[in-house]
Amino acid sequence: MARDLHNIYNKLLSRYGDLHWWPASSPYEVIVGAVLTQNTAWSNVEKAIANFGDSLSPELIENLDLDALAELIRPSGFFNQKAVYLKEITRWFKKYGYSVKRVQRQPLEQIRRELLAVKGVGKETADSILLYAFDYPTFVVDAYTKRLFERLPVDVKLDYNSIKSHFESRLEPDGKLYNNFHAMIVINAKQHCRKKPVCDHCPLEDDCSFAKQTN
């Protein structure tokens, strides 16, 4: 039974193609979305971001009163907490003059350490920002990825670092590849590999032990 990541990638690619993910109009919007999506559905994040209209920028977040910021992001839940997190991540970005290129000139591991030191930024949030805002080749591990690895299954411990290492040790360090791979895992999880799975016509059905058990 195939467990090769390239095989999995190619089967997902043949179904979903290049998804051009993450859905955002700017790298900073990716940063904001990565913070707001913690413990909530993406639809709630979209509502919160829509409250900014066309005005979302690091300068705006920097200058907004904390209570006013919390009110704008209320749809995302935990809004008082996340308002603080947005202030902190924006303060970090300001060190680089709000310049994506200045961040990208720094080594991946340095920027990852800096992000993980920011209040409210954990591993998944940090890697999402690194990959989707700054195009660093770092793999994002989320609940969908863990579910896929558990059901196929893949012979790896189902913790963040182990799954991340499994991907990065077997795939070339390519931000575009990691971007689309993770995006396709998310889309496939929403369509097929749900908590209550819909295995019929899943592109990975022939490779999945869980699907064979349910058929």
Q: What is the mean pLDDT of residues 13-32?
A: 94
Q: CATH 1.10.1670.10: which residues of the chain?
A: 5-20+139-214
CATH of domain 5-20+139-214: 1.10.1670.10
Under CATH, which architecture does the 27-133 domain have?
Orthogonal Bundle (1.10)
pLDDT confidence of residue 210: 84
Check pLDDT > 90 for residue 160. yes
pLDDT tens per residue, range 52-102? 999 999 999 999 999 999 999 999 999 999 999 999 999 999 999 999 999
Q: What is the mean pLDDT of residues 129-147?
A: 96
Give the C-alpha distances (Å, rounded to integers) separating 45 from 50, 65, 103, 186, 205: 8, 20, 25, 16, 31
Q: How far apart are CA 102 and CA 156, in angstroms?
A: 36
pLDDT tens per residue, range 35-47? 999 999 999 999 9
Q: How far apart are CA 55 and CA 118, in angstroms?
A: 24
Check pLDDT > 60 for residue 2. no
